[in-house]
Structure 1
Amino acid sequence: MAGIHYPIDGVNYGNPDVARRYLEEGAWIDSTFGEALQATARRIPDKLAFISDERSITFRALDELSTRFAAALFNLGLKPGSRALFQMGTTIDTVIALCACYRSGIVPVCSLPQYREVEIGKLAELSQPQAYFVQGDLGHFDLVGFAGRMCDMHPSLTRLIVARGTVPEGAHSMTALLESHTLETARTTLDAVRLGSEDVLSFQLSGGTTGVPKIIPRFHAEYLAHAAAWATHIHAGKSATVIWSLPLLHNAAHLYAIVPTILLGQTTVLMPKVDVVRMAQLIERHRVTHAVSIGPVAPQLMASPQVLESDLSSLKGFFCMSRADSLESFLGVPCSNLYGTTEGLLLGSAPDADAFIRHHTQGFSGCAFDEIMLLDPESERPVAPGEMGELCFRGPSSLRGYYNAPDINATALTGEGFFRSGDMMRAHDVDGVTCYSFEGRMRDNINRGGEKIGCEEVESFLSRHPAVLDAKLVAMPDPMYGEKGCAFIVARAGQPAPDVAQMIEFLTSQGLAKYKCPERIEVVDAFPLTRVGKVDKPAMRKWIADKLAAEVTAGA
């Protein structure tokens, strides 16, 4: 089963000798996602795979429904290697649709439901998808109508597939497609599909500073192994019950929730939206053992005393991006910081790890084959022990190259093939284990609750406003999301600068996703400059952080 059966132009498949070694040494799993689901369904057919308030689904039902849907997609003319844009929520339907694509070799382009004309347009131009999956009842925005307009604008998008909503003329109903095949006819149809474990599984997305989408191909063999290594690392696996409340298309959702469920047989509880009181109730009801917070979940928990009214004793571990010590003190269960990047590295620590590792570092990799170095960004030389350096890594799941992006790839990796994360870390030796603490970022972006916002991209949109002469966007601290965007604006002479609400209305009218819009505006006469005359963004970040701190003190 090893090998690349359906190569995609623009994908870097890496060195065949290295791939062979990874397979031989167990760093990759020589299987496909569909085979893993079939094997788990045979082993534990009646166990619940995914649970939600709307419905739950067993492994047998998930295997059968996704097989039927996969055959229907195949008969629509979508073949292995075809790309499909996804804008769907955290639901069982999304799981079925993803599993169907993975079974048939269709490659999901895992975009966010919040994306609008700017982001979807760029992704469509770059990936040339032939299909577009949308959820018809996701929030108040008319996602189906929006998808129809995008299909009209991008000729490659010839098939619109709608789940959970009114299906317009010319589009395809997910329900109708499912009903078009029996299990027997579906299996016969899919007999023609023979995927290789080194074929592309999905196109995941990476944030950047300029807003230009960067697509990260992930592959069956490495993705399965990556998720398995993480589950082992945090003492999860087949007996675990995990809860997930964030976007299901995220790389994080795949590695923490979807892939280990399919491969190992864990049960995952899905929440369509973040509601921390309901989360606590579901933890009690389903005896959840592991919870993961990427973004605002942990701060919201600590701000909601009602969550402590639920019995959380089943939790073996809660994993968050930062402040694990505070969360542990609040919840009374073991909590660990983690670090993850779609480019292929996961750092974390088990619930029984040393408290310093769990609370004051982001832990260490659970993959024995990962190589991690902290390098001087200018020279690519290793920094001295205890000093900060840029986190660089290579390993079985590490980025081999962004999709169809030779110019970006030329600078994304070091001369030795290590991916340059742009994140500054410090190494700590704890009883012979090297752990890493996050110290800051080199790149000009904002991490708003786990979603990366490229400052340069937003600045270009801010400057389109007729009252704005120039604008800069910087990160400001936020207790819930970690960071939010603050825009420093130089207004045109004689024109009043827009307030936040006016700017958001303008930016979204230009097709920018709302979550990228600044949430504070500071009007200035000029930007601070460094000694060499460049805009001093660190000074701007410090200024707004100090101003926010003073406002909190004054309001205390």
Structure 2
Amino acid sequence: MLEGCISWPESVAARYRTEGYWTGEVLGDRPDDDAGRHARTAVITPDRTLTYGELDLAADRLAAGLRARGIAAGDRIVVQLPNGADMVVVCLALFRLGALPVFALPAHRAVEITHLVEASEAVAYVCADRVLDCDHRELARQVLVRTVGLAHVLVAGDPGPFTALADVDADPVPLSAPDPADVALFLLSGGTSGPPKLIPRTHADYTYQLRASARLCGVGRDSRYLCALPMGHNFALACPGVLGTLRAGGTAVLAPAPTPEECFPLIERASVTVTSLVPPLVPLWLEAAEWTDGDLSSLALLQVGGSRLDPATAKQVPDRLGCTLQQVYGMAEGLLNFTRPDDPEEVILHTQGRPLSPADELRVIREDGVDAAPGEVGELYTRGPYTLRGYYRAAERNRTRFTEDGYYRTGDLVRRTPAGDLEVVGRTNDVVNRGGEKVPCQEVEEHLLADPRIVAAAVVALPHPLMGEQTCACVVVRGGEPEPTLRQVQASLRERGVAAYKLPDRLVVLPRLPLTGVGKVDKRAVRDSLAG
């Protein structure tokens, strides 16, 4: 196990291997018994199609090219690419080389990328040339100034002063297969306190997640999965997502954006059978389905996760989109819960499902420390064959987020039904769940306080009919300073390199912030005053 990572106890690991959860599989390998795989379609994008043979060759050549440039097994690589064939090729190449991708999110900017490079000690950053309004070459220049050890910037498209990803190419060479117990990749925590923590996922635990979720969702060789959400998210990557679909021999269809305008033509053209969305996108798809001339009849399963989907919207999915709805509740740290396609309507509409694995262990702990009975609310604790035992190099955080016997404290408040399904009712941690994007309140507050006009700040979640929650920044302005506008505050945060999804949706200027008896900001009182 990589230094700085926490392993499962050997007795537990041995049980997972004996019971078949962990096998000898590693990410990026090729099945030996899949006749005809070479010629089948693996990847479809709006402008490119790859067979499995073409995908394998591209990944092998990239892996050899990276190796020739000095990138080796165990090296960390920050990857920030839009949905497309390059993203799939890079993933497979890194898995086969044994280098470890650190998956940045599309909205991340200089602050976040700098943190990821420093926290992982990355030697390379892989990005696109430009995505929408962001020139990632300029972003890379800023990161290089702020960090040490970043030796390579590889750019898909026009590289500017850096190296073109297309030029990282060499004849394939034999590569040593990773050990299944090795770390394979890093996902990101929701960043509930400060910048996101790195989540190490091993080949053994992640391949189990891929196999089990594909089996539960009925994904196989005839499946065509539309990746509408960013592929760097665990949901779109591996629940079963792109990697699970490819592992099952199906076809991954990648959309540049999750809008109906981008996705509906791909559903028709590629005969997509399954896709996944976050709740704010579902009403947009339902509305667009009313006027589209496109043929969506191939779509059989819509997964919705990232935040709670309201039952009224959920009820419309089968009639308006003509497919089965599956609610998904999980976390990049591991545990996944799914409603099953054959569940009663009441379960699909009102719960977030039950655990993926028979080996998932769950406890629901009331505020008084007692295990909650069915129907009672408590914080969800979990451990299992694909749930981490500790964040990477985060000893202090691990002491508070993990129990001595290995349970991960999710920070989510849930209610468990007598049948074992979970209803997510809230969170204990200080984060805004903005349409599935987790906005860490403390981090945004620190950036707000860097504005010389602001002397105190509290960021809270407020209800929003579409996003589920919106971010509200409550600030106290320095005496004699004019009150800033929301647009001015957003501009100031952008100048600091803060990602767009973290910008406050609402600004409230207060004369003072209410405090608790121990002198901390009383955020409950803040929220109550705004609700009133």
TM-score, length basis structure 1: 0.90
108-117 or 79-88, larger mean C-alpha shift: 108-117
Distance (Å, rounded) in 2 between the aligned partners of 1:357 and 1:231: 21
Distance (Å, rounded) in 2 between the aligned partners of 1:384 and 1:491: 47
Aligned residues between the structures? 525
Matched, 1:298 2:282: yes
Q: Which residue, 516, 520, 523 being the options, matches 1:537? A: 523
Find runs of 4+ consecutive structure 1 residues off by over 6 angstroms.
none
Q: Could you tell me how far 1:533 is from its partner in structure 2?
A: 6.1
Q: Could you tell me how far 1:225 is from its partner in structure 2?
A: 1.0
Residues 455-494 of structure 1: matches in 2 within 5 Å? 455-494=441-480
Distance (Å, rounded) in 1 between the aligned partners of 2:355 and 2:5: 26
Q: 1:336 to 1:516 in 2, by over 3 A?
A: same
Report what 1:249 is aligned to: 232
Report what 1:316 is aligned to: 300
Q: Which residue, 69, 80, 88 being the options, matches 1:76? A: 69
Specify the SS of the correspondent of 2:28. Answer: helix
Q: 1:384 to 1:77 in 2, by over 3 A?
A: same
2:243 partner amino acid: V
Q: Could you tell me how far 1:84 is from its partner in structure 2?
A: 0.6
2:249 partner amino acid: G
Distance (Å, rounded) in 1 between the aligned partners of 2:484 and 2:111: 22
Report what 1:4 is aligned to: none
Distance (Å, rounded) in 2 between the aligned partners of 1:221 and 1:307: 45
Report what 1:551 is aligned to: none
283-292 or 77-86, larger mean C-alpha shift: 283-292
Q: Which residue, 15, 19, 26 being the options, matches 2:20? A: 26
Report what 1:172 is aligned to: 163
Q: Could you tell me how far 1:172 is from its partner in structure 2?
A: 2.1
Identity %: 34
Q: Deviations over 1:414-459 (max 9, x none)?
A: 2321110000000112xxx310000001100011222211101101
Specify the SS of the correspondent of 2:115. Answer: helix
Matched, 1:156 2:149: yes
Report what 1:510 is aligned to: 496
Report what 2:358 is aligned to: 368
Q: Deviations over 1:285-313 (max 9, x none)?
A: 32221121135321322343556543322
Distance (Å, rounded) in 2 between the aligned partners of 1:476 and 1:147: 34
Q: Report if aligned partners of 2:74, 2:99 keep a CA contact under 8 Å in 1.
A: yes
Matched, 1:281 2:268: no
Matched, 1:114 2:107: yes
Matched, 1:64 2:54: no
Report what 1:348 is aligned to: 338
Distance (Å, rounded) in 2 between the aligned partners of 1:319 and 1:488: 35
Distance (Å, rounded) in 1 between the aligned partners of 2:49 and 2:323: 27
Matched, 1:358 2:341: no
Q: Which residue, 518, 526, 529 being the options, matches 2:512? A: 526
Residues 123-522 of structure 1: matches in 2 within 5 Å? 123-168=116-161, 171-178=162-169, 181-182=170-171, 186=172, 189-191=173-175, 193-255=176-238, 256-306=240-290, 308-321=292-305, 322-323=309-310, 324-379=314-369, 381-429=370-418, 433-522=419-508
Q: Report if aligned partners of 2:255, 2:266 keep a CA contact under 8 Å in 1.
A: no
Q: Could you tell me how far 1:45 is from its partner in structure 2?
A: 1.4
Q: Report if aligned partners of 1:299, 1:479 keep a CA contact under 8 Å in 2.
A: no
Q: Report if aligned partners of 1:40, 1:265 keep a CA contact under 8 Å in 2.
A: no
Specify the SS of the correspondent of 1:12. Answer: coil
Q: Report if aligned partners of 2:212, 2:357 keep a CA contact under 8 Å in 1.
A: yes
1:137 partner amino acid: R
Distance (Å, rounded) in 1 between the aligned partners of 2:138 and 2:198: 25
Q: 1:174 to 1:41 in 2, by over 3 A?
A: farther
Specify the SS of the correspondent of 2:472. Answer: strand
Distance (Å, rounded) in 1 between the aligned partners of 2:97 and 2:53: 18
Q: Could you tell me how far 1:329 is from its partner in structure 2?
A: 4.8
Q: Could you tell me how far 1:529 is from its partner in structure 2?
A: 4.7
Q: Deviations over 1:135-183 (max 9, x none)?
A: 1132221101221331233221011111122341xx32211122xx23x
Q: 1:32 to 1:352 in 2, by over 3 A?
A: same
Q: 1:295 to 1:137 in 2, by over 3 A?
A: farther
501-510 or 18-27, larger mean C-alpha shift: 18-27
Q: Deviations over 1:186-232 (max 9, x none)?
A: 1xx334x2311111110111022322330000111111111211122
Return 5+ residue gaps in structure 2 as ranges.
none
Specify the SS of the correspondent of 1:34. Answer: coil
Q: Report if aligned partners of 1:85, 1:109 keep a CA contact under 8 Å in 2.
A: yes
Distance (Å, rounded) in 2 between the aligned partners of 1:367 and 1:202: 21
1:362 partner amino acid: Q
Q: Which residue, 10, 13, 21 being the options, matches 1:16? A: 10
Report what 1:552 is aligned to: none
TM-score, length basis structure 2: 0.94
Q: 1:76 to 1:353 in 2, by over 3 A?
A: same
Return 5+ residue gaps in structure 1 as ranges.
1-6, 548-556
255-264 or 512-521, larger mean C-alpha shift: 255-264
Distance (Å, rounded) in 2 between the aligned partners of 1:413 and 1:86: 28
1:60 partner amino acid: G
Specify the SS of the correspondent of 1:461. Answer: helix
Q: Report if aligned partners of 2:415, 2:425 keep a CA contact under 8 Å in 1.
A: yes
2:408 partner amino acid: F
Q: 1:440 to 1:419 in 2, by over 3 A?
A: same
Specify the SS of the correspondent of 1:278. Answer: helix
